[in-house]
Structure 1
């Protein structure tokens, strides 16, 4: 990771998953609000947090978890190959980075096991995610020996963001019906991704002159840049909220149903969903049974 690309790869990993989670959290949140509003005062469509989100093209496959494991494998191979010099494993920093990747890969495996409903303790996917961020925080906190003041500052900001991620995941695990902890997870994951890439540009600039890592003035500029990263991420998430809300407003009732019950999107057509019994439908969501039936009826009319 002691290169520009070594920071861009994990940064892109976190930023991509942060964007994916942000979109899906807002999509589910606004879909639940619209479904409840359409059903009237007697219906309910509660928002429920999940650690991962299904891909609507392949709802029966844990696409997100598989992507997580794939990126981790690529990252570990890259760190392993670049750690060798003269036929010897000489870069212990790469071993730390490989360890960080390993725990996120473990989280991906737990997501796969949870997807296929193996007999695991409740919220094992959330716990493995919190563990991955905890290990990342520990590795970066004790990764600073002999570094320049600017290098230490860049990594400490990263440690603070990782700590925010840990708190957000634990809150989301406990408050499954609140959207705010899920949005906090999205926020800190996005921020971690952008800051990884920014740190790569500062420490290993691909173009331009190098920063003076001992200059107090330039260290203050790094602090300003971190604050602006926080503001930009917040504004981008706010913009995503409005855009997804507009998208949900334009959806047909059948498309709305398939968002709330993603497994039904694998049926040949929406009329197949209408043939399900109320007890089978209840397995897909905790929505009120009358609201589910109403959405199915509207879906059949749209076909």
Structure 2
């Protein structure tokens, strides 16, 4: 079982990275479609290059802070009980493992970009990012906390969105010049962040469906029809988020093309239409 803050914090990190990835992908493509390449991270312009690696710092520092919360604060440093791993905090240990992977992703990317000791191409970084998403996928799929009922349904949707992140990230390693792949990666990360928020507000906030309630560490729905209605509401919420993100992507592409579009963009579209 999680908490409101436990879903909002990672949701904020994924949402920030996802939205920035979408805009950067669109901007880079409309600016120079012929030299477009898939990127795991995107530099922040301006301020004399001081914020260039801001996205990587958000990933690394955000994962580190969340890791400290899960591993140190939530467990109260009670790692072992009677010589074995504390069974009351297995979910915290699992979350820590997932966060460690994203911390390593941010740290490796920073080392690759800022030093000469570890210079990795974007394809390799794509596979490292995919490994982090795979760790997250396995965590939620084989969670020690048994998710049932309405809570299980929300986490099933989350697992599917994480799977989409894996597919688009791996595809980026094999299709390094594909704009649709890079854009879909940003969309998948954004949707994952939004779904973390949706889960927080529905299961632990004011959007709990009628007939369902949070009691202790579980969500109970009575009568059974309330759980079915809650799942249907979840489907509608997911559809609304997907539609909203797609509208935002189309709007951002139109804005970027009109303001920053390269002359090669029109010829690229003409060739594709032909």
TM-score tier (shorter) = 0.7 to 0.9
- Provide Cα deviations, 1:257-287, integer angstroms capped at 9, x if missing partner: xxxxxxxxxxxxxxxxxxxxxxxxxxxxxxx
Partner of 1:37: none
Q: Runs of 5+ in structure 2 lacking a partner?
A: 80-87, 213-219, 222-226, 264-274
- C-alpha distance after superposition, 1:55-86 (max 9, x if no partner): 2135475332122111111111222344236x
2:55 counterpart residue number: 64
User: CA 1:92–1:206 in structure 2 vs 1: closer, same or farther (change >3 Å)?
Assistant: farther
Contact 2:38 2:177 in 1 (8 A): yes
**Which whole-Å CA distance do the structure 2 matches of 1:237 and 1:147 have between them?**
33
Match of 1:237 in 2: 249
Unaligned segments of structure 1, at least 5 residues: 34-44, 254-303
Alignment of 1:40-79 (within 5 A): 45-57=34-46, 58-59=48-49, 61-79=52-70
1:91 match: secondary structure: helix
Distance 1:174 1:71 in 2: 29
2:237 aligned with 1:225 = yes
Aligned equivalents of 2:95 and 2:210: distance in 1? Answer: 24
Shift of 1:118: 3.4
Retained in 2: the 8 A contact 1:110–1:124? Answer: no
1:94 aligns with 2:92: yes
Q: Given the superposition, is the C-alpha separation of residues 6 and 210 from structure 1 closer, same or farther in structure 2, using an over 3 Å criterion?
A: farther
TM-score by length of 1: 0.72
Cα distance between partner residues in 2 of 1:121 and 1:48: 15
* Deviation (angstroms), 1:145: 4.8
The reply to whether residue 154 of structure 1 matches residue 166 of structure 2 is no
| Mapped contact 1:30–1:245 kept (Cα < 8 A) | yes
Deviations 1:126-153 (A, max 9, x none): 1110000000000000127533311111
3-state DSSP of counterpart to 1:84 = coil
RMSD of the alignment, in Å? 2.4
Change (3 A) 1:113 1:73: same
Q: How many residue pairs align between the two structures?
A: 239
**Match for residue 22 of structure 2?**
22
Q: Hey, what's the Cα distance between the residues in 1 that align with 2:209 and 2:240?
A: 22
Cα offset for 1:247? 2.8
Q: 1:80 to 1:177 in 2, by over 3 A?
A: same
